[in-house]
């Protein structure tokens, strides 16, 4: 029997146990076999799982019973308040992009592509292969598996101009996801109390990582062609910052792709200030009308520190990202990565490399670009038709989201709540602002489940907004 | 053909490419098929891998060539020195326990058990099963997969006295390895500039994590029964610390298991000081003559924060650990975990749960205890015979290592180097001291490869030491 069938029985029996009194007797294995139309092996597996979870206990020759636990009482953890002191910046908060919601709702809030956009067949085959190989039991070096490091380096080398010395495999540091990469990069290059320039708005995960590292973020405004150069120059001068975090390609949330001249100007400003550009190429695999060429490919003086993740495009199960950095910066980042996570599962690294070097990966990316184009255009059309009060400043040439400007008098929190009440989930734009929001925005994901519901979702958003604005 | 056979060809051709001039032509596929006695599919796969790594390029109809790369030149990253400032404590250092060495040496230095001590069959089967299930494409909650959280909670509940309210599944936070768990725990419970009491000597990874979190470590000495209570009381009083990090069971490196009365006294001191005990139960699965009962099972007032890892006992590929904490401390740790790593691969969580709930896991642990006993006794005997100048203060009742005291006049660095020259790798004890070492020690691993070589390894250590001490 398949694993999943036993999981189903476990899930169902957990509900039964939750409702039963402690000491209640479970139906016999034979009765369960009948109830679930499953084999006895599958039922036994489910019972073992529940036993291991401490929910049931079996008394041989008597039967299986719901486990007796001490009665819950209200514990007093008040003493911890004194021991912990006041929190340092980032509290426990559930960001919209991470929320999981029931299947029957219209999910436009997520930061992740839907399962149907993942290379599922490649992922499964890669796990099966890797489970047979040495990666299932070996420990890789702290900086990463050499063959995967080489792949990340080669990806940049392939687009580097002839005059630029491409990064070496040893310039690559592998992380268990891009969030860990951001953390180590900010810790290593900036450090507590020092300033970090960021685009505004920008990725909430980066704002969170900066807060964790005790780094002081300094917002730099931009327009539809990239960061405003005068503001960038002024921010470097006024703060003495030595690093600028940015997403030059299909930025999350704005969708902006830096114009080539603007990118060149930013690089020049960064060099003039003896600073780092932390280039977060989060949507490298999500180009639609445009293939992003990393700025890192144009720099061999160690100014660009490049962050590349595979998690979103390959699978959430393959938590693999890389930071490419040169010189002393690379040494700092490796040391920090080792102190933070020691090393990354070699099996996940093997799986990641297997997938991205498989011929099916290129085919997948081509089909993905087409499907993202269809979804984007469908959602753009639906918003234009049903939410006439909203404005799209940029139709993104890649990425997963639209960034929708609402009239200034919009009550954003109420709008998000009203939509949710009618089954449509959207993310309020203020989560992406490192300081006060400069306007009312929604971030709407066009890569979520069920694009057929986009028009209906847009209609509900439009109606809720119209009720606010026009009574 | 198997994956590994193509890896072998890749490895071999990489050597060939390294020695070949840029632009050199590779042998034809047919020639390679013959040379490696492999199928054409396997050879093609190897060539695709090398192409993806940027090492070769194929010109259709012409052949495959070593890729031309710009000539390496010495880059000047001097500007980074000003941007980075001086490092904050932990530099880039390769700790002995992480070193990988050639197979023909005698490896007594490692912090990890040898592959033959891992439940390899269970690991492979679990990856194969998980690759077929939903975990291959789904994203779990930040705090962990509920079924795995429940397992960790149930493990503690199973040994909790009847009067103690066991932890709930929601008290468990899953991490991508125990190093990340230590980082989040120290960040959350202590924070930059504040004091953390630690045993001395203690695990170097904890010293490293504390340095990364900017935490000030305060060493507390111990004896063969646990931390010295007067010193612990004095350290709390003098520093105002609110947390004590310790390994009560088979401590790394000393092998000490706290005596029950001592453990009770420590808990009392911790409670009196309104403080946390961070209990790192790193060797929970490595009991030999004794099954460790976590102190966390005796506390329901939120004083003990419990760290439990599966990486060492299950497989280095299954980077899964848990922190069990209650009350506001748990909230802080979840928030920090989210800021640090967002979420942990659900596939690794599924694999971990599959293995530890499999009936084969208990069987494996029983056989593991026997094999560790044999190895420990063999190494203890060999050291007593061949290194008469060394002293074993404790014969550990579990864990993976011996902690060997050497005469005070030993030149430790020279001894380690001399042994290495003769093919025996040992770890110098000073890496485990948070401050100056209080004596000359070696940490010697009895769970490494090839226990048959233990007597020979001991003989070489003994001879090198004798040369120093007796001329």
* pLDDT 10s digits, B220-235: 999 999 999 999 999 9
* A387–chain B nearest CA distance, Å: 31
**For residues A58-78, average pLDDT:** 74
Chain B CB contacts of A298 under 8 Å are: none
* Averaged confidence pLDDT in chain A: 92
Q: Which of residues 395-434 of B touch A (CB under 8 A)?
A: none
Whether residue B177 and residue A80 make contact (CB cut-off 8 A), yes or no, is: no
Chain A CB contacts of B212 under 8 Å are: 187, 336, 339-340
Residue B102: the pLDDT is 81
> What's the token pair of residue A366?
């081509």
Residue B449 pLDDT exceeds 60: yes
**For residues B336-344, average pLDDT:** 91
pTM above 0.80, yes or no: yes
Nearest to B84 among A3, A133, A189 (CB): A189
- The C-alpha atoms of residue A326 and residue A348 are separated, in whole angstroms, by 25
Nearest to B53 among A81, A151, A191 (CB): A151
From the CB of residue A4, how many other CB atoms can be counted at a distance below 10 Å? 12
Query: Could you tell me if B335 lies within 8 Å of chain A, comparing CB atoms?
Result: yes
> What's the token pair of residue B465?
């030491």
Q: What is the pLDDT of residues A421-455, one digit of tens each?
A: 999 999 999 999 999 999 999 999 999 999 999 99
Contact call for residues B261 and B402 (beta carbons, < 8 A)? no
Chain A CB contacts of B354 under 8 Å are: 3
Residue B93: the pLDDT is 65
From the CB of residue B181, how many other CB atoms can be counted at a distance below 10 Å? 26
Q: Could you give the C-alpha distances from B261 to B227, B258, B265, B371, in angstroms and in order? A: 12, 8, 6, 30
Query: Could you tell me if A316 lies within 8 Å of chain B, comparing CB atoms?
Result: yes
Instruction: Cite the beta strand spans of B104-150 per DSSP E.
Output: 106-107
- The C-alpha atoms of residue B178 and residue B455 are separated, in whole angstroms, by 33
Query: Could you tell me if B73 lies within 8 Å of chain A, comparing CB atoms?
Result: yes
- The C-alpha atoms of residue A202 and residue A220 are separated, in whole angstroms, by 10
Whether residue B183 and residue A134 make contact (CB cut-off 8 A), yes or no, is: no
> What's the token pair of residue A33?
């076999």
**For residues B369-396, average pLDDT:** 96
- Which chain A residue has its CA at the smallest distance from B359's CA? A48
Contact call for residues A305 and A325 (beta carbons, < 8 A)? yes
Most confident of A360-364, B49-53, B190-194: A360-364
Query: Could you tell me if A204 lies within 8 Å of chain B, comparing CB atoms?
Result: no
* Eight-state DSSP code of residue B297: G
- The C-alpha atoms of residue A306 and residue B246 are separated, in whole angstroms, by 38
- ipTM score: 0.85
Helix axes A3-19, A29-36, angle to 10 degrees: 110
Contact call for residues A289 and A262 (beta carbons, < 8 A)? no
Residue in this structure with the two tokens 């060429």, named with its chain if needed? A293
Establish whether the linkage from the previous residue to A110 is cis, with ω within 30° of 0. no
Query: Could you tell me if A91 lies within 8 Å of chain B, comparing CB atoms?
Result: yes
User: 3-class DSSP state for residue B108?
Assistant: coil
- Weakest-pLDDT range from A23-27, A330-334, B238-242, B442-446: A23-27
Whether residue B345 and residue A348 make contact (CB cut-off 8 A), yes or no, is: yes
pLDDT-based confidence at residue A11 (cuts at 50, 70, 90): confident
- The C-alpha atoms of residue B392 and residue A356 are separated, in whole angstroms, by 51
Q: Could you give the C-alpha distances from B30 to B7, B26, B415, in angstroms and in order? A: 18, 11, 52
Helices (H), B190-227: 204-212
Q: What is the pLDDT of residues A446-462, one digit of tens each?
A: 999 999 999 999 999 99
From the CB of residue B163, how many other CB atoms can be counted at a distance below 10 Å? 8
Residue B1: the pLDDT is 39
SS3 percent helix, strand, coil of chain B, rounded to 5, is 50, 15, 35
* Averaged confidence pLDDT in chain B: 92
Nearest to B177 among A165, A187, A341 (CB): A341
Q: What is the pLDDT of residues A314-328, one digit of tens each?
A: 999 999 999 999 999
How does DSSP assign B305-328, residue by residue? EEEEE-HHHH-TTS--EEEE--TH
Closest listed residue to residue B250, CA positions, set B313, B159, B326, B158: B313
Contact call for residues A40 and B170 (beta carbons, < 8 A)? no
């Amino acid at each position: 029997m398949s694993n999943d069938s036993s999981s189903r029985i476990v899930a169902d029996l957990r509900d039964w146990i939750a409702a039963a009194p402690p000491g209640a007797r479970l139906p016999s294995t034979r009765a369960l076999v009948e109830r679930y139309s499953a084999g006895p092996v599958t039922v036994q597996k489910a019972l073992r799982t529940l036993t291991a979870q401490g929910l049931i206990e079996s008394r041989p020759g008597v039967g299986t019973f719901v486990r007796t636990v001490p009665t819950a009482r209200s514990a007093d953890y008040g003493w911890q308040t004194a021991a912990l002191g006041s929190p340092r910046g980032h509290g426990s908060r559930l960001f919209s992009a991470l929320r999981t919601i029931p299947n029957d709702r219209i999910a436009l809030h997520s930061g992740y592509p839907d399962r149907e956009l993942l290379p599922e067949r490649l992922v499964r085959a890669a796990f099966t292969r890797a489970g047979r190989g040495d990666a299932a039991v070996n420990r890789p070096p702290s900086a990463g598996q050499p063959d995967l490091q080489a792949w990340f380096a080669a990806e940049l080398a392939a687009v580097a101009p002839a005059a630029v010395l491409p990064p070496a495999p040893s310039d690559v540091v592998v992380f268990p996801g891009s969030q860990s990469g951001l953390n180590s990069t900010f810790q290593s290059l900036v450090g507590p109390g020092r300033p970090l320039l960021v685009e505004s708005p920008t990725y909430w995960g980066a704002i969170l990582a900066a807060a964790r590292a005790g780094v002081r973020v300094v917002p730099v405004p931009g327009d539809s062609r990239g960061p405003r150069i005068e503001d960038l120059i002024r921010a470097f001068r006024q703060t003495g910052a030595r690093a600028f975090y940015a997403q030059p390609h299909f930025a999350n949330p704005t969708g902006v792709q830096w114009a080539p001249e603007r990118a060149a100007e930013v690089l020049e400003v960064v060099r003039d200030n003896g600073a780092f550009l932390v280039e977060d190429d989060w949507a490298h695999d999500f180009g639609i009308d445009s293939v992003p060429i990393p700025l890192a490919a144009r720099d061999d003086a160690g100014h660009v520190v490049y962050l590349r993740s595979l998690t979103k495009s390959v699978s959430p199960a393959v938590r693999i990202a890389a930071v490419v950095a040169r010189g002393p910066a690379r040494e700092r980042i490796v040391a920090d990565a080792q102190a933070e996570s020691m090393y990354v599962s070699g099996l996940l690294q093997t799986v990641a490399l297997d997938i991205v070097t498989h011929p099916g990966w290129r085919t997948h990316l081509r089909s993905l670009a087409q499907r993202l184009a269809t979804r984007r255009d469908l959602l753009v059309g639906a918003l234009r038709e049903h939410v006439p009060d909203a404005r799209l400043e940029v139709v993104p040439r890649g990425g997963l989201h639209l960034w929708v400007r609402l009239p200034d008098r919009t009550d954003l929190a109420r709008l998000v709540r009203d939509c949710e009440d009618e089954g449509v989930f959207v993310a309020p734009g203020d989560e992406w602002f490192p300081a006060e929001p400069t306007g009312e925005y929604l971030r709407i994901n066009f890569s979520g489940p069920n694009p057929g519901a986009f028009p209906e979702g847009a209609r509900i958003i439009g109606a809720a907004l119209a009720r606010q604005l026009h009574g």
